[in-house]
Chain A
Amino acid sequence: MLKRVLLGLVLACGLTAPALAQEPKTGGVINAVIQPEPPGLMLAMIQNGPTQMVSGNIFEGLLRYSPKLEPLPELAESWSVSEDAKTYTFKLRKGVTWHDGKPFTAADVLFSIEMLKQTHARARNNLAQVDKVEAPDDYTVVFTLKQPFGPFLGIFEVGSMPMVPKHLYEGTDWKTNAYNNAPVGTGPFMFKEWQKGSFIRLVKNPNYYEKGKPYIDEIYWQIIPDAAARSVAYETGKVDVLPGGSVENFDVPRLSKLKDTCVSGAGWEFFSPLAWLWLNNRQGPLADKRVRQAIMYAIDRDFAKDVIWNGLGKVATGPSASTIKYYTGDVPKYPYDPAKAKALLKEAGYKGEKIRLLPLAYGETWQRWGEAVKQNLMDVGMNIETIATDVAGGNQKIGDWDYDIAFTYLYQYGDPALGVGRNYVSSAIAKGQVFNNVEGYSNPEIDKLFADGAVATPDSKRKEIYEKAQKILVEDVPVAWMLELQFPTIMRCKVKNLITTGIGVNDGFKDAWLDK
């Protein structure tokens, strides 16, 4: 019955092969920047970016993913899928212990799943297709799905489904559990110290199951709230690693040219951050498809990439980033063409009605981008009013549909069923929540395509479905896609193998070493 056996170990060996060219050295300390300071480190309960970046070293998932998004073993050493694609059997690695010495077993997996359903909104969505989870023995976990779910093997990385120690959380009040602030995981590094506002210190896990790893003795995550001060900290040698997004974009070219500095754009393949403008399809001029298309023609996205983002990233062609599965570039194109934008606006009967634009309060780059888009839209005769908010205020307005155009960027999690469909299907229209279908786009054909795509087999069928969906969406312009963002990691060249998977620095530093 279990015919399609995937031995991820083989893939893992293939992935790390280049690293073997140079023998890793052990020892040393990595100083990295973390921004902003994470509110907590309990990954099962807090899912913001900084938490995952630090806690990706402490906790682990059942799988990790290669830059091509193939599953790799982590706490599960192998897995198999039944012929009807409804039963997934994971064989857990033996000899894994939590940082307090207790063994990691299938009971922990079962407990984690139950806990995550209550504390982790994305895991809860991802697990919606799961009918039951069983543990026939201590080292086997069997997931039975209600129906085939194409992206199922893509939901097990540490940020999406971190494993939690059952013996420390079961029967406790999770939200006030003392281990939230001194987390215990199975990862390559153990939590040691957190001086709030200053640094978080992780130390090597001497009992890590991959013998010889991790190579680094300690990691200091330094908390430096000001972007200019973070640049200076790198320049003056106080930190070795600036993870993507740590410094303002205009500082990236300057820092990249510093002596002994290496830059990598890798490690974002799983997340594939895509920036777009929410367009409120419900009301006013934006309810007309021609006005939305005019917006696509009116905005100079190459300018945004070359000037505002200093040449980093790629102009988006549609709802899927080019790095995720089933992407197609064979869709209608919207080059910068103000004349065409004006013609479309005229055809739609736009008469200068006021349109509210919400920029994203994520710092200078986003502020400038907001100004550039406003300028582009005003150039074709649109009456734009900028509404300034902070992040929480902006989210509230977007969730309440109280906007016309709003900036955002979201992760795509490798598969259209996980990170794309949620923004376009009509079942994801729900007032009061952000990051779903807040634009109010509703198209029964799209609903059906995404519903079919999630459960279709084989892969070629899914590809066909998602390519069709992309073409329809790009024609309809429910939102205005801007850029596939790139957040380069800047580091000293002596830091080797920092990024080895498609999850990048969020996947922990277990392969990293220092060439002293």
Chain B
Amino acid sequence: MLSFVAQRIVKGVIVLLAIVVLNFFLIRLAPGDPAAVMAGEAGASDQVFVQQLREKFGLDKPLPEQLFIYVKGIVTLDLGFSFRQQAPVAKLIGERLPATLLLTLTAFAISLILGVLFGTFAARFAGTFLDTAITVFALIFYAMPIFWVALMGILLFSVTMDWLPSFGYETVGANLTGLAHAVDVGAHLIMPAMTLGLFFMATYTRMTRASMLEVKRLDFVKTARAKGLSDAVIQRRHVLRNALLPVVTLAGVHAGTLIGGAVITETVFAWPGIGRLMYDALLQRDYNLLLGVFVTCSIMVLIFNLITDLVYRLVDPRIEFAS
């Protein structure tokens, strides 16, 4: 198993380097650079001033040299300096990563648990009213744009009912600690996590349902039934477990993309996460910060892919690490 993990890490590093190089050039294809953005904000600019800024940011050097400097930094775990925010990139990302992880992992858990649960029920009661009701419920959240669900949630639960806070990570200025703080953060987390989670839940519901219906028809299920096992045991131990493989695959893909993919949810709910950091960096052409966020997201994707592979082994012992 260890050699399997080591192999995957080596592969991951190569993928990561390829991502860095590709993104390095892609970012620079967008018109405008940080010096132009900053000079523009000053409400005045002259050639000498813009040139000075470019020199300060190292943007006057040839592109291959800029890339070499950046990759050298990455190898020594230095993500560079954000000239826009006047702080090291690693520090800026470090400040935002916990909030993003809290949001996305909660949303991920909500979507996976509810999705598998609803999918199982839908498969168990396939063709009945319950099946239709679950399917419709799941598809409604899948079909509605996230920002719309978010705004309607705010309107209902914050403005009309005044149950939940409409924005932020915690109550600003409350200076809560311990349990009170955790409860406060939890209250702020409910709406963004549900908005994001319900969107992905639909996919798991549909996937679990379809997969279970397929497995149900297989011979070993008939055998289990012939052995006299109870329906609950058959569903849980035989059908669900075998039906979970495609769900795990999908979950692995989702978990990685969720890290950088929560931009809309983070924006509407003013959640101080990495998605918004990335969006702002893009608008301000903050090259180092943008690349830093990409690297972080890529690392997350690689980690989640590795975890997915390990979970495969747990779900289905037939899969060998060596393969």
Whether the pair B154, A121 counts as a contact (CB closer than 8 A) is no
User: Once bound together, how far apart are the Cα atoms of A223 and B95, in whole Å?
Assistant: 15
CB contact between A391 and one of B159, B268, B283 (< 8 Å): that residue:
B283
Whether the pair A125, B172 counts as a contact (CB closer than 8 A) is no
The answer to the question of B42 belonging to the interface, with a C-beta cut-off of 8 Å to chain A, is yes
Chain B residues whose C-beta falls within 8 Å of the C-beta of A195 in the assembled complex: 95, 169, 272
User: Once bound together, how far apart are the Cα atoms of A399 and B272, in whole Å?
Assistant: 33
Whether the pair B41, A48 counts as a contact (CB closer than 8 A) is yes
CB contact between A236 and one of B87, B92, B151, B162 (< 8 Å): that residue:
B162
Given contacts A37-B280, A47-B43, contact A233 B96 (CB under 8 A): no
Count of residues in A whose CB is under 8 Å from the partner chain = 61
B: contact size bracket: 35 or more
Chain B residues whose C-beta falls within 8 Å of the C-beta of A225 in the assembled complex: 266-267, 270, 276
The answer to the question of B2 belonging to the interface, with a C-beta cut-off of 8 Å to chain A, is no
* B86 CB → nearest A CB, Å: 4
Chain B residues whose C-beta falls within 8 Å of the C-beta of A48 in the assembled complex: 41
Whether the pair A180, B166 counts as a contact (CB closer than 8 A) is no
Whether the pair B45, A390 counts as a contact (CB closer than 8 A) is no
User: Once bound together, how far apart are the Cα atoms of A46 and B42, in whole Å?
Assistant: 7
Mask: chain B, 139-171; 1 = CB below 8 Å from A; 0 = not: 000000000000100110011001001111110
Whether the pair A31, B172 counts as a contact (CB closer than 8 A) is yes
Contact residues of B between 249 and 269, Cβ < 8 Å to A: 266-269
Which residue on A lies nearest to B41, using beta carbons? A48
Mask: chain A, 426-465; 1 = CB below 8 Å from B; 0 = not: 0000101111100000000000000000000000000000
The answer to the question of B317 belonging to the interface, with a C-beta cut-off of 8 Å to chain A, is no
Contact residues of A between 99 and 142, Cβ < 8 Å to B: 118, 120-122, 124-125
Which residue on A lies nearest to B284, using beta carbons? A39
Contact residues of B between 34 and 64, Cβ < 8 Å to A: 36-47, 49-50, 52, 56
The answer to the question of A206 belonging to the interface, with a C-beta cut-off of 8 Å to chain B, is no
Stretch at the interface among B10-18, B77-85, B220-228, B304-312: B77-85
Given contacts A199-B172, A229-B166, A232-B154, contact A396 B32 (CB under 8 A): yes
Whether the pair A122, B46 counts as a contact (CB closer than 8 A) is no
Given contacts A46-B38, A392-B32, contact A121 B45 (CB under 8 A): yes
Whether the pair A47, B42 counts as a contact (CB closer than 8 A) is yes
* B286 CB → nearest A CB, Å: 8
The answer to the question of B209 belonging to the interface, with a C-beta cut-off of 8 Å to chain A, is no
User: Once bound together, how far apart are the Cα atoms of A275 and B38, in whole Å?
Assistant: 21
Chain A residues whose C-beta falls within 8 Å of the C-beta of B85 in the assembled complex: 39-40
User: Once bound together, how far apart are the Cα atoms of A47 and B84, in whole Å?
Assistant: 11
The answer to the question of B273 belonging to the interface, with a C-beta cut-off of 8 Å to chain A, is yes
* B292 CB → nearest A CB, Å: 14
The answer to the question of B173 belonging to the interface, with a C-beta cut-off of 8 Å to chain A, is yes
CB contact between A233 and one of B92, B167, B271, B272 (< 8 Å): that residue:
B167
Whether the pair B87, A181 counts as a contact (CB closer than 8 A) is yes
User: Once bound together, how far apart are the Cα atoms of A390 and B169, in whole Å?
Assistant: 28
* B315 CB → nearest A CB, Å: 37
* A282 CB → nearest B CB, Å: 19
CB contact between A232 and one of B33, B167, B282 (< 8 Å): that residue:
B167
What are the 5 A-B residue pairs with the smallest beta carbon separation, nearest first?
A197-B272, A392-B32, A121-B42, A396-B31, A48-B41
